[in-house]
Structure 1
Amino acid sequence: MAALAVGLSGCGKLRKRAAVVNADDLACMTRAMYFESHQSSRDGLVAVGSVVMNRVESPDFPNTVCGVVTQKNQFAPGVMTKEMSPRHAPFVQEAAAAVLAGERHPRIGNARFFHVASYRAGYDNMHYVVTTGGNAFYEKRRPEAVTQPSPVAATEGITG
């Protein structure tokens, strides 16, 4: 596995840290973020990446970024095989590197799931935490512990 030293930048400002990230993790994270939220905001990208990392840390999912991203029926079809636009890929890769270096969307919390914001599911165990980048992010909880059963109003401009 190759490692890359990545200088993180965002919003036109150079961040004070550089991170060493695994090249395979970076490729898988970039692809997941690109195909799940590539036409959205940086917030939407970081939120998708935060969900990936929450899954990596959960015993219910594979314990690697690539394991999570390639898990059957979890991410966009063709996530690892479709072509990415060279125009958008650098922006997405910067956000992916930031997530791998520890950045998280501040409203994601423990959410490990999301769907397109316009979708309305009929389940009673979905506790919504944020809507951003065209997706609604949620935690699965016991029905009696759900206090936000529908997607919240969309917010943008939270991440750096």
Structure 2
Amino acid sequence: MPASWLPAGCQEIALPRMLPRLLRPEDLHGFRFSEGDHCRLALLSSPRDADRRDDVGPASTPLTIFVEVHDPMEQVPLHAHHNAAELYFVLRGQVIFHVGDRTITACGGDFVVVPEDAIHDLQNPGPGRLYLLTVLSRDAGFSEMLERGIPAPLDDEDLEVLRSL
């Protein structure tokens, strides 16, 4: 790309390239962190995708992107991500976030940002399932921990919802 699009005084940086790829809902692998969890998470991209690159070197991004599926009345306990913001795009359903002393209610089409180190939880008040597209700005082992979890395949309802978006 020509450097003419850059603002004055800025220099283009060559980042390691990742091969383009296409993921369809059927390609996703759902996981739960533990036996008691009901939430299913399916990775879309993580720093480990560097294995799919056409050159060598460190991964080009520390981001992790995943789909979350929450059953009605399900609640994710209070937690925080050290040095990592969490960005949520509500694909379908309604969600209630508690971030510090704030309560945020969001529904399909809304975008919610949880700042770095912020203690937060989320709840699906129902009546249907909640679908989130989530970006974690710094993986810090999150994707590896998830992939060591319990396989929990996305079901027909999940696949239908994801195909319809």
Could you say which TM-score interval applies, normalised by the shorter chain?
Answer: under 0.3
Higher radius of gyration, 1 or 2: 2
Q: Of Structure 1 and Structure 2, which has the larger fraction of its residues in strand? A: 2
Using CA pairs under 8 Å that are at least 6 residues apart, name the structure with larger relative contact order, 1 or 2: 2
* TM-score when normalising by structure 2: 0.24
